[in-house]
Structure 1
Amino acid sequence: MNTDTTTITDVTGNAYFAPLLPWQQTLWTQMTRRISMPAQQLPHALLAAGMQGMGKRAFVWRLVAWLLCRNRDQNPLGACGHCESCQWLKSGTHPSLQVLPITSMPTEANNQEGGPESVSSTKKAKAESKTKKAASPASLTIKIDDIRALRPFIYQGGQGLRICVLDHAEQMTIAAANALLKTLEEPQAQVHLLLMSDMPAKLLPTIKSRVQQLPLQTIHPAIALDYVTQQLGGTINRQIVSPDDIKQVLQLANGAPLAAIDMAKSTWYSMRGLWLTTWQALRSGKRSAIAASEYWQKQLSLLEFIRLTELMMLDVRRVCLGLASIQSDIDISAALASHPPSDGALETLTLELQQTKAALQQNVQEKFAYDNLMQQLAQL
């Protein structure tokens, strides 16, 4: 699930000044107290890594704002939001902050993710983001030239605190990672690198060995449940829900609160039962793949349908293995009772879903991709 990209924001739409997530309070207090102590400072390089939807980006952007805030000594709970530094952050033009890719920088007009640019191009990127569809994190690449472009900023001595944020750090090319490694091996005074990654296993071991990882992955289930319940306001897609419904969506999101909220609010999540009905009709031959494709194209984008299908396949696999379905509000077991799919068929569909997502980055025509996917479901 790709939900950690949903930036937590304050009432103005700016992630730098959003409320602290409840499961991050202890870490925040520990870090801010340490930094505020005499002779103590932030490590040269930090890594915020882990599953999407845990809130690592929310923590990093909030920390960036507090570190740069002119009044941070009087505001240990977060940036003041009023000083010159905070105003620069709100406008996306802070001279002491560099972000790769530039469209990861949270501003009132631009909270999307996209390709790397120089910070001087922020205003242009903000304007373009209104008319140009943001790229998927999977399509982002941080190249060696992007890392080299940071060097004048990093090595300009006597300029005070400077921060570089690398979002989707796993998207660095090998050459870019090696260039960054040289910077990590030569730490500069008052320069801090903050890396964020959804897939830290893809980072070079030499990179991970030179950064200090933030402990953001552990969230107590009770805290997660309470937070998701409050944020959803007791409803999912305007339907009143029970605590069991909240527990279910949290389990489907692997315990990641932000992912659970994003999933619960999505249109596709409310169409799980309809997906199951369509799948049964396709398998029995009561509905053609073309007819099903035409119908679903009017309901969901192809990417949304893929996310829905991936979620449903998660429980289909569980039932095929003799495990209980996570989704108790729909009867997947009954749908598989007479004709469970083979392991080979499930693997073929999984590969097809991955290939279709990759094809979407190449501007493939959604209609043809939708038709093909329905044919694969019919054969499952």
Structure 2
Amino acid sequence: MNDMTANVGAQERSDSIYFAPLLPWQQMLWSQLTQRVLTQQSLPHALLAAGMQGMGKRAFVWRLVAWLLCREHDTNPLGACGACESCQWLKSGTHPSLQVLPIVSMPINADSDTLQEKPSSAKDKKSAKTTSNSALKIKVDDIRALQPFIYQGGQGMRICVLDHAEQMTVAAANALLKTLEEPQAQVHLFLISDTPAQLLPTIKSRVQQLALQTIEPAVAIDYVTHALGHTINREAVGKMAIEQLIQLANGAPLAAIALAQAPWYGKRSLWLTTWQALRSGKRSSVAASDYWQKQLSIKEFIQLSERMLLDIKRICLGLSELQTDINLSEALASYQPTDSGLETFATSLQQTKVALQQNVQEKFAYDKLMQELACL
């Protein structure tokens, strides 16, 4: 068994991803797919779970993988049993019939579409970091290493999951085409992508996309409301807050929940107050920097600033703001930054991200951004 085998379960990964409750908007698709299997109809050889982060596509794929491999799925149509030998293999991260690329690709939990690198040894634990796009690259040698697993005969069902499939190099994608064009019995490939437009057309033409992107607004509102601890009989203002979160998250419920829980989300009005104070000269950039360093990490402040810039740009273009709870349009009624000023600050935010990867001190980065925010 090589290093790719079942890495989705090993290396400190929680097994809850395989056995988590089905997300409400995925029930119909789940029923359709499981019924095909239970009525002896074969699933498509290759399936693509695509769409923006926060829709639960990874949660669906890992749950389906567990169910397909489960020895008792005939009597458990709602999900893997969690007790059979196959489920135990998944829990321990040693399933011989599951391979995953890229090797570092590890979902954090069932409610997340984000990934984090998981250490594979005690030594690696000391240097584990959030996975970068470069770390997620799927290379041609990775695809070639799958071939013995895919083409071994008489081994029962075998599943390959290619997460962040858009990160395949051209050579890797071309190597995968052979597998897609020559489907093997009982071998299933799952491709997962946040940006399917980056997939080669030849790949997309040979996979069947899972219908995971349609989420009814009422279903999204109800799910987000319950997840955030509100009651069914919530006040109108509470409902408006939930609807705003979902709108800001482009309709993705899991992203809306993550947004509400982000440290910076509750500091949007404070950002606006700081900007106005800096612009009017009522506060120095040094004082503002010192204050914000105690409020948010520089990365969180950048996320906050990017969110605020989006709405400022909308208002400057004559569109309505998406954040209706912080009176942004009122603040911009007497003054609006220029297009060049907005672009300059947006560029500074991007440059700061790059600088942080090169170990620039947060204080220096904060000081510089506050100086530029004062000029916006």
What's the TM-score once normalised by structure 2's chain length? 0.87
Shift of residue 123 of structure 1? 7.6
- Residue identity over aligned pairs, in percent, reads 71
Q: CA offset at residue 213 of structure 1? A: 0.6
**Maintained 8 Å contact 2:54/2:252:** yes
Q: More deviation in 141-150 or 266-275?
A: 141-150
Cα separation, 2, equivalents of 1:145 and 1:202: 20
Question: 1:320: how far off?
Answer: 1.0
Question: Residue 196 of structure 1 aligns with which residue?
Answer: 192
Q: Secondary structure at the match of 1:194?
A: strand
1:23 to 22, 25, 30: 25
Larger mean Cα displacement after TM superposition, 352-361 or 157-166: 352-361
SS in 2 for 1:104: coil
Correspondence list, 1:165-176, <5 A: 165-176=161-172
Residue 65 of structure 1: aligned partner:
66
Tell me the residue number matched to 2:3: none
CA–CA separation in structure 2 for the residues paired with 1:191 and 1:13: 23
Query: Secondary structure of 2:191's match?
Result: strand
**1:215 aligned counterpart, secondary structure:** coil
Aligned pairs for 1:170-249 (under 5 A) are 170-234=166-230, 242-249=238-245
Q: Say which of 36, 45, 61 aligns to 2:38.
A: 36
- Is the Cα contact below 8 Å between 1:170 and 1:200 reproduced in 2? yes
For residues 134 and 240 of structure 2, the distance between their equivalents in structure 1, rounded to whole angstroms, comes to 33
Which of these residues, 323, 327, 349, is aligned with residue 331 of structure 1? 327
Q: TM-score, normalised by structure 1?
A: 0.86
Maintained 8 Å contact 2:314/2:320: yes
Where does residue 100 of structure 2 map in the other structure?
Answer: 99
Range with bigger deviation, 43-52 or 167-176: 167-176
Give the drift of 1:107.
Answer: 8.0
Contact 1:114/1:134 (CA < 8 Å) preserved in 2?
Answer: yes
Q: Secondary structure at the match of 2:190?
A: strand
Q: CA deviation digits over 1:33-58, x for unaligned, max 9?
A: 012222x1121111111111111111
Paired residue type of 1:326: L
| Structure 1 contact 103–126 (Cα < 8 Å) conserved | no
The residue type equivalent to 2:329 in the other structure is S
Contact 1:80 1:86 in 2 (8 A): yes
RMSD of Structure 2 on Structure 1 (CA): 2.5
- Partners in 1 of 2:137 and 2:307 — Cα distance? 27
The answer on 1:271 being equivalent to 2:253 is: no
TM-superposed CA distance for 1:196, in Å, is 0.7
Residue 156 to residue 265, structure 1, CA distance change in 2 (3 Å) = same
Match of 2:281 among 278, 285, 306: 285
Alignment partner, residue 247 of structure 2 = 251
Q: Note if 1:341 corresponds to 2:342.
A: no
1:157 aligns with 2:153: yes
- 1:145 positional shift: 2.0
SS at match of 2:247: helix
Match for residue 47 of structure 1? 48
C-alpha distance in 1, partners of 2:373/2:351? 15
After TM superposition, give the deviation of residue 138 of structure 1 in Å: 6.8
In structure 1, what is the Cα distance between the partners aligned to 2:98 and 2:317?
A: 50
User: For 2:189, what is the secondary structure of its paired residue?
Assistant: strand
Cα deviation, residue 313, structure 1: 1.4
For residues 329 and 269 of structure 1, the distance between their equivalents in structure 2, rounded to whole angstroms, comes to 12
Distance (Å, rounded) in 2 between the aligned partners of 1:207 and 1:362: 35
Which runs of 5 or more structure 2 residues have no equivalent in the other structure?
Answer: 1-13
The count of residues paired between Structure 1 and Structure 2 equals 357
Q: Which moved more, 1:315-324 or 1:191-200?
A: 315-324
Q: Please say if residues 99 and 165 of structure 1, whose CA atoms lie closer than 8 Å, have aligned partners that are also in contact.
A: yes
Tell me the alpha carbon deviations over residues 51-76 of structure 1, each in whole angstroms, 9 at most, x when there is no partner: 11111111111011001101000111
Q: Give yes or no for contact 2:58–2:107 (8 Å, CA) kept in 1.
A: no
Residue in structure 1 matched with residue 7 of structure 2 by the alignment: none
More moved, 295-304 vs 251-260: 295-304
Distance 2:125 2:44 in 1: 33
Instruction: Look up the match of 1:56.
Output: 57
Structure 2 counterpart of 1:288, one-letter code? S
After alignment, is 196-205 or 133-142 more displaced? 133-142
Matched residue type, 2:34: T
C-alpha displacement at 1:148, in angstroms? 2.0
1:221/1:352 CA distance change after superposition, 3 Å: same
Q: Distance in 2 between matches of 1:14 and 1:22?
A: 17
Q: CA deviation at 1:352?
A: 2.9
Q: 1:166 to 1:273 in 2, by over 3 A?
A: same
| Structure-2 change in CA distance of 1:21 and 1:276 (3 Å) | same
